[in-house]
């Protein structure tokens, strides 16, 4: 006669044949790579459960006549001690971690559903707020970019100081990280006020280098390289969005929307090439991320790169198509740029900057050993996780319009 017991999945253990001839001794012999915690001998046992699993559900067959389990299958042993002074007994602790046999009340599917809901809600909110800031332009746009740069720089230097990166390099001192974050935040303001950053970026790099070289202790090249890259990555590159939105002040004369733009909101003079280019560029990046995500979920099979294993070639191609299509459609709606080839090239460059920025941040997070750069935005992680696609795109868009579009594409 055999007894069948089934139970949900727990950690995997292998057992040798078990004898139940002596219920008090409970001679259990394990042959697994994981130790099975046993309760202290001072506790009394009400009952002893042996749960043998196969896959996610399993089956224990114990011959009551011989008391032996014949098969080497997965097992979990759970002993329930008596209550002490009317209190629940404490769980056994192994390696400083509490071992619990209770299931999580929230299923994994429900957790993913809640995360997706938060991601959509906060994504829509960020999109609406970002659209209003872009339309406002001027100091409103510049100060908003400066605030994002400051938060992003702080997250970057926290990643640089993480345990995963510091195991292989020496990070810059904390006070240097804070100084660099402040310098990065002032860069878009200087760019908007003076129109260029050549002197500011050179002077800032010089100050950082002197500060690191004259610090107490033993200065390291890794400190200088990570700080200078932070200055470039978090400060200099995002400033091109200010140059794109506020620097290209040529009126978009072919745009019907601009002709009917309310006088109280700036009139036709407010509808510039910089505003139209910024709207198309940001919308194209959003489309690229959305189509890449949906395409990867539906068709993704071929990994794109080891830097980000979840990204696939199928999703990347879908993202490229969505980015170019959005750029072309908006160019027709907004009557800029006037050439179809220019619109396609503009969309391609936006996609290229988006992918490169995303992969760069993924590489930093991989070396840091973290999933997200922070927890500022629910459902999205840190600010860098949300804006990484925009870091290189602004510089590419501005450079393309200035260098390759005659009359700024009007």
Average pLDDT, the chain: 77
pLDDT band at 391 (very low <50, low <70, confident <90, very high): very high
Q: Is the pLDDT of residue 40 over 80?
A: no
143 and 52: one domain?
Answer: no
How large is the average pLDDT for residues 95-120? Answer: 62
Q: Is 205 contained in some domain? A: yes
Q: Which residues, at least 6 apart from 88, have a Cβ–Cβ distance to it below 8 Å?
A: none
Q: Is the pLDDT of residue 202 over 60?
A: yes
How large is the average pLDDT for residues 2-16? Answer: 44
- At residue 8, the pLDDT reads 44
Number of domains in the chain: 2
38 and 127: one domain?
Answer: no
How large is the average pLDDT for residues 249-266? Answer: 73
121 and 99: one domain?
Answer: no
The residue from 103, 132, 158 where one domain ends is: 103
165 and 66: one domain?
Answer: no
Q: Is 62 contained in some domain? A: yes
How large is the average pLDDT for residues 352-366? Answer: 93
Q: Is the pLDDT of residue 24 over 70?
A: no
**What is the residue range of 395's domain?**
116-371+380-409
Q: What is the pLDDT of residues 130-144, one digit of tens each?
A: 999 999 999 999 999
pLDDT band at 245 (very low <50, low <70, confident <90, very high): very high
The residue from 81, 103, 125 where one domain ends is: 103
- At residue 407, the pLDDT reads 79
Q: Which residues, at least 6 apart from 3, have a Cβ–Cβ distance to it below 8 Å?
A: 60, 61, 62, 64
| pLDDT-wise least confident of 104-113, 181-190, 347-356 | 104-113
Q: Is 109 contained in some domain? A: no
Q: Is 57 contained in some domain? A: yes
**pTM, entire model:** 0.71
Q: Is 108 contained in some domain? A: no
Closest CA to 122 of 389, 360, 385: 385
- At residue 104, the pLDDT reads 56
- At residue 72, the pLDDT reads 42
49 and 133: one domain?
Answer: no
Dig out the tokens for 333 from the structure.
């709606």
Q: What is the pLDDT of residues 150-174, one digit of tens each?
A: 999 999 999 998 888 888 788 888 9
Q: What is the 3-class SS of the chain, one letter each residue? A: CEEEECCCCCCCCEECCCCCCCCCCCCCCECCCCCCCCCCCCCCEEEEEEEEECCCCCCEEEECCCCEECCCCEEEEEEEECCECCECCCCCEECCEECCCCCCCCCHHHHHHHHHHHHHHHHHHHHHHHHHHHHHCHHHHHHHHHHHHHHHHHHHHHHHCCHHHHCCCCCCCHHHHHHHHHHHHHHHHHHHHHCCCHHHHHHHHHHHHHHHHCCCCCCCHHHHHHHHHHHHHHHHCCHHHHHHHHHCCCECCCCHHHHCCCHHHCCHHHCEHHHHHHHHHHHHHHHHHHHHHHHHHHHCCCEEECCEEEEEHHHHHHHHHHHHHHHHHHHHHHCCCCCHHHHHHHHHHHHHHHHHHHHHHHHHHHHHCCCCCCCCECCCECHHHHHHHHCCHHHHHHHHHHHHCHHHHC
pLDDT band at 106 (very low <50, low <70, confident <90, very high): low
2 and 124: one domain?
Answer: no
Q: Is 110 contained in some domain? A: no
The answer to whether 52 and 58 are in contact (CB under 8 A) is yes
pLDDT band at 219 (very low <50, low <70, confident <90, very high): confident
How large is the average pLDDT for residues 44-55? Answer: 40
71 and 120: one domain?
Answer: no
- Residue 29: burial class (beta carbons within 10 Å; 0-12, 13-18, 19+): exposed
- At residue 406, the pLDDT reads 83
Q: What is the pLDDT of residues 304-343, one digit of tens each?
A: 998 888 899 999 999 999 999 999 999 998 889 988 999 9
70 and 210: one domain?
Answer: no
52 and 150: one domain?
Answer: no
Q: Is the pLDDT of residue 51 over 70?
A: no
- At residue 171, the pLDDT reads 87
184 and 296: one domain?
Answer: yes
The residue from 103, 134, 168 where one domain ends is: 103
pLDDT band at 348 (very low <50, low <70, confident <90, very high): very high
Q: Is 364 contained in some domain? A: yes
Q: What is the largest CA-CA distance in the chain?
A: 94
Q: Is 111 contained in some domain? A: no
24 and 165: one domain?
Answer: no
93 and 123: one domain?
Answer: no
- At residue 284, the pLDDT reads 96
User: Cα separations (Å) of 106 from 19, 51, 98, 101, 133?
Assistant: 38, 24, 19, 15, 38
């Amino acid at each position: 006669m055999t007894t069948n017991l089934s139970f949900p999945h727990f950690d995997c253990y292998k057992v040798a044949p078990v004898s139940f001839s002596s219920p008090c001794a409970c001679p259990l012999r394990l042959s697994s790579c994981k130790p099975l915690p046993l309760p202290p001998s001072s506790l009394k046992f009400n009952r002893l459960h042996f749960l043998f699993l196969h896959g996610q559900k399993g089956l224990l067959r114990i011959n009551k006549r011989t008391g032996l389990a014949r098969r080497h299958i997965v097992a979990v042993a759970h002993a329930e001690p008596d209550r002490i002074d009317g209190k629940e007994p404490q769980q056994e602790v192994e390696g400083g971690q509490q071992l619990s046999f209770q299931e999580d009340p929230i299923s994994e599917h429900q957790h993913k559903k809640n995360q997706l809901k938060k991601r959509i809600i906060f994504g829509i909110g960020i999109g609406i707020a970002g659209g209003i800031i872009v339309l406002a332009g001027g100091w409103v746009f510049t100060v908003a970019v400066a605030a994002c740069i400051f938060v992003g720089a702080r997250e970057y230097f926290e990643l640089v100081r993480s345990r995963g990166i510091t195991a292989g390099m020496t990070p810059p001192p904390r006070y240097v990280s804070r100084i660099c974050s402040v310098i990065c935040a002032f860069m878009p303001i200087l760019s908007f006020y003076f129109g260029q950053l050549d002197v500011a970026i050179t002077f800032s790099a010089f100050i950082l280098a002197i500060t690191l070289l004259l610090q107490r202790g033993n200065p390291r090249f890794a400190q200088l390289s990570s700080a200078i890259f932070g200055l470039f990555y978090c400060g200099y590159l995002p400033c091109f969005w200010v140059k794109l939105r506020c620097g290209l002040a040529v009126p978009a004369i072919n745009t019907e929307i601009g002709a009917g733009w309310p006088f109280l909101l700036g009139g036709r003079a407010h509808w510039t090439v910089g505003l139209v280019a910024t709207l198309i560029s940001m919308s194209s990046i959003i489309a690229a991320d959305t189509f890449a995500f949906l395409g990867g979920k539906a068709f993704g099979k071929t990994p794109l790169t080891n830097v980000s294993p979840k990204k696939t070639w199928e999703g990347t191609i879908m993202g490229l198509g969505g980015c170019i299509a959005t750029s072309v459609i908006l160019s027709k709606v907004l009557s800029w740029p006037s050439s179809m080839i220019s619109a396609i090239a503009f969309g391609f460059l936006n996609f290229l900057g988006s992918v490169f920025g995303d992969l760069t941040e993924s590489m930093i997070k991989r070396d840091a050993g973290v999933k997200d750069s922070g927890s500022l935005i629910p459902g999205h992680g840190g600010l860098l996780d949300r804006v990484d696609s925009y870091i290189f795109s602004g510089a590419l868009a501005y450079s393309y319009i200035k260098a390759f579009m005659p009359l700024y594409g009007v």
